[in-house]
């Protein structure tokens, strides 16, 4: 079984694109479609890496990152978080990093870059 990647994303097209791309490289994708669900899944499932959209329908990705980093589940302090966003507000990359994300990627997501970044944190089993 490959590593578990949680993707918190409300856009089904992006979710499908990333699911296909990561499963093709042997990762198992766990899906969450809003921020609160994302935090809950991170706390209750075995997660090796988190892909995090910033524009979410309930709490935004910054808040998701902060809650994950301050979770009672201590392992979540170190799980890699890659922010992936087409956010339109000034300084979103800086805010994502300040909230606890490790890397910032802008949409459209270049799949070769995504593979390389995920692989750098959690090797695939391919």
Q: Can you give the binding site for another protein, defined by CB under 8 A?
A: 17, 21, 86-94, 97, 103-113, 116
> In terms of CB distance, is 7 or 39 closer to another protein?
7
Distance of CA 119 to the CA centre of its chain: 14
> In terms of CB distance, is 36 or 86 closer to another protein?
86
> In terms of CB distance, is 69 or 107 closer to another protein?
107
Task: List the one residue out of 71, 75, 2, 61 whose CA is nearest residue 32.
Answer: 61
Q: In angstroms, what is the minimal distance from the CB of 59 to another protein?
A: 20
Q: In angstroms, what is the minimal distance from the CB of 105 to another protein?
A: 7
3 state SS of 27? coil
**What one-character DSSP code corresponds to residue 49?**
E
Task: List the one residue out of 106, 48, 56 whose CA is nearest residue 80.
Answer: 48
């Amino acid at each position: 079984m490959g590593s578990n990647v949680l993707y918190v994303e409300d856009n089904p097209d992006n979710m499908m694109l990333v699911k296909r791309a990561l499963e093709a490289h042997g990762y198992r994708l766990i899906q969450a479609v809003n921020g609160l669900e994302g935090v809950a899944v991170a706390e209750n499932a075995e997660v090796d890496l988190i892909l995090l959209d910033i524009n979410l329908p309930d709490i935004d990705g910054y808040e998701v990152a902060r809650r994950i980093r301050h979770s009672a589940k201590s392992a979540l302090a170190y799980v890699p978080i890659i922010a992936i966003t087409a956010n339109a507000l000034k300084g979103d990359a800086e805010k994502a990093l300040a909230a606890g994300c490790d890397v910032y990627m802008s949409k459209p997501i270049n799949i070769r870059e995504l593979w390389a970044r995920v692989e750098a944190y959690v090797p695939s089993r391919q």
